[in-house]
Structure 1
C-alpha cells in the first residue's frame, strides 16, 4: 500500500451525525480574547455529580437547564475542563443558547478523522465526471422515475454490481488527525437573490471541522494486479480505464477535474459580476492556484465533505447535457419560486468567506520521490 499525505487547505467537516446542543452538550468558555467550545463528557459528569443524582440530571435535561449549573451544584470545585472530552478553538462570535453544533466524526479514542469511504466517494465522483464524456446518450439514461440518477451510467463505466465494480480495486484507508486539530466555525450562505446583499446569515450553522493546514497520512493503492488476475477468471469484468491504472493517473484526473470545476465557478461569478462576491472569488482563485502546483502527478486537489456544493458533490457532468434544465427541475421539486435564479444559487461559506472541503493529497513513497 502507498502512503498518502493529506493536507487540509480549508476547513473539512465530515459529520458524526450528532447535533450538539449549546449549554448542554457543549459549553462556551472565554479566555481573554479567545473563545473555546468544550464538548461535555457524560461519564465525567456522572463521576462528578455521583450516581445518586442521576434523577436530578435527567430532570435538568428535560427542563433544558445548563450542564454547568448542574455540575456546580454537586461538584462546586470543578471546572469545565474537568468534565469535557475535548476543547475546540471557536472562530465564531455571538453564540446563542439556542445554537447547535454539528459534530465532526471521531473514532473511539476521540481522534478526528476523515473516513476512507469519504475520500473514495469524492474520488469516484471525480472519475465518474471525467469518464462520463465517453458515454453516449446520457440524456436518456439519467432519469429514473422523474429523479436524476447516475446508476445506469455508473453501471456502464464501473460494473453492474458491488462485486464487479472497478472501485473495488481502489483501496483507501482512514486519515487520522491530531486530537487538537478541530475548530468551530459558523457556516452561512453566499446566496444569489433579489436583495443586493449576497451574504445570507438567516440560516447559520455552527460546525466542528478539521482546521486549515492540518496533516495526516493514510494508505491508498490501485490494485491493478488483482484486477488483471480477476479479469482472467471473470471475462465480464470491465477493464480499468487509463484514469484508474495507477495512483499517478488517478491523481492527474482528480486534479484536472477539480481545476475545471473551480475555473467554471470563477467564470460563473465573473459573468454574474455581483458586488459582495470578491472575497469568495479570491478564495477560489487561491484553490485554483493550488491545483496548478500539482501538475507533476504526485499530488492533487480534492474537495470532500459537508458544504462542498452541488458542483463538487455531483461532479457537475450533467451541466453539459442538452436537457440540463430537466436536471434543474428535478433538483428543485416544487420550488418554482427559484426558477428565475441561476442554478445552483447558493454556496456555503463561513463568516470570513472561507469555503469548506479542499484537501491536498500527496504521494509519499512513489519511486520518483524516493530517488530525489
Structure 2
C-alpha cells in the first residue's frame, strides 16, 4: 500500500453557505445599500480621495461616516471607492445595522477553510463510530466545562491524545478561492415549531451552485508497522477508507430528522420537501452530502441523536450546560422517535419575501443553510 492516498475534492453548494470571519460589518461605515445591492466600501481609497490639507476639513472627515463621503456618481461598476458589490441587501438600513462577514482571502475572494470541512467530517465519523461501538450516553463521562463536555467520548472514539487521534491521518487543504461574484447577501431567521420567525440575522453567503476545489490526503503510514515502532500507530483506519459512505449515512439520517421536524412546523412545508428530496440524492463511494458552516445546527456539531437515547441524560445536559432557555419538560411515556423530533426546539433558515392570506408582505422560510455535495476522486 502507498504511504498515502491523495484525493481531488469538489465541494458544490446546494443552499447558501455562510462561514463567518468573526467580524460584523456596519451599515454606513463598511457598506451601503443602493438599488437592491450591497456596496462594500473601500475606506482607504475613499479617504485618500478627500482634500485633507485643510485642518478643519480633516477634523470634519474624522467625525463622518464613510457613506457620507460618497456621491451619486460613485455608485458605478469599477468605482475605486468600493471593494465589491453584492446581489441582495440586508433588511435593516438603520444606524448600527450589522452584516456578518463571510471569510475571504486578502483579495476579498471567498474560500472554504479546510478546518471547516474537516470538522464536519469528524462529526459524521464520531456519530458513526458511536453507533458501531454501541456506546451509551453517561453523565459520569462528561467534562464539567461545556467547551470540552464530550472529551472522554472523543478519546474513546478517536484516540487518547492529539498524537494518536484518528483525524491526524486526515489532512484537508483550504480550497482555491472563488470570485467575489459567488457571494450574495442573505437574510436569516430562527424558526420554532409554531412557525414563528425570530432573531433576524443578515450575512454574506456563498451562492448555491458554487464549486470549491481542494485536496484531501489520508496518511496510511500512521496505521503501519513503522508507526507502531515509533509509538504513533492510530486505530480506525478502516473508517477513513469508507469515509464517503459513512458521511453519506450520517447525512441521510440528518435529512430524515430535519424533514420530520419541518413537516411538523407551521410554514415549514417547503423546507421539509427539500430535505425529502435531498435524502434521495444519489451518492456512493465517491460522493456524499454534508452540511457546512453557520446554521447547520446541533445535529451537525455534536454526537446528535446518539445523545437522545436517554431522557435523563438529555435533561441533565440541557440544564447543566444551559442549552435551553425553556424549563425541562417531562417527556415520560413518549417514544424515542418523538423526543428525537422535539429537540432542539428551533432551527435557523434563510428567508425571502412572501405574502400572507391578506396580501401583506411577510417573510417565509426559503432554504436550509449550508448543504453541499462533495465528490472525491483519487489521484493515481
- TM-score, normalised on structure 1? 0.83
Tell me which of 242, 249, 269 is aligned to 1:278. Answer: 269
Deviates more, 1:89-98 or 1:6-15: 89-98
| Pairwise CA distance, 1:58 | 2.5
Do 1:40 and 1:83's aligned partners in 2 also have CA atoms closer than 8 Å?
A: yes
**Contact conserved, 1:7 with 1:214, CA < 8 A, in 2?**
yes
1:55/1:318 CA distance change after superposition, 3 Å: farther
Q: 177, 202, 205: which is aligned to 1:206?
A: 202
Q: Do the aligned partners of residues 332 and 78 (structure 1) sit closer, same or farther apart at CA in structure 2, a change above 3 Å counting?
A: same
Per-residue CA deviations over 1:31-63 (Å, capped at 9, x if unaligned) read xxxx21111122211222255455433312xxx
What is the match of residue 15 of structure 2? 10
Structure-1 residue corresponding to 2:316: 326
- Matched residue SS, 2:38: strand
Cα deviation 1:126-152 (Å, max 9, x = unaligned): 111111121545414542227471100
RMSD over aligned Cα atoms: 2.5
The 5 Å alignment of 1:50-199 reads 50-52=51-53, 54-60=58-64, 65=65, 67-72=66-71, 78-79=74-75, 81-90=79-88, 95-133=93-131, 134=133, 136-145=135-144, 147=146, 149-175=149-175, 176-192=177-193, 196=194, 198-199=195-196
Q: Is the 8 A contact 1:49 1:71 kept in 2?
A: no
Shift in alpha-carbon separation, 1:78–1:262, aligned structure 2, 3 A? closer
Counterpart position of 2:238: 242
**TM-fit CA distance, 1:28:** 0.8
Match of 1:204, SS state, is strand
CA contact (8 A) 1:141 1:153 kept: no
Q: 1:130 to 1:98 in 2, by over 3 A?
A: same
- Cross-structure match for 2:43: 42
> Does residue 222 of the first structure (1) align with residue 222 of the second (2)?
no
Q: Who is 2:359 aligned against?
A: none
What is the deviation of 1:161?
Answer: 2.1
Task: Name the structure 2 match of 1:347.
Answer: 347
Equivalence for 1:256: 249
Secondary structure at the counterpart of residue 252 of structure 2: helix
5+ unaligned residues in a row in structure 1: which ranges?
368-372
**Partner Cα separation in structure 2 for residue 243 and residue 359 of structure 1:** 21
Is the CA contact (8 Å cut-off) linking 2:185 and 2:203 kept in structure 1?
A: yes
Q: Where does the alignment leave 5 or more consecutive residues of structure 2 unmatched?
A: 1-5, 332-341, 353-364
1:92/1:366 CA distance change after superposition, 3 Å: same
How much has 1:217 moved relative to structure 2?
0.6
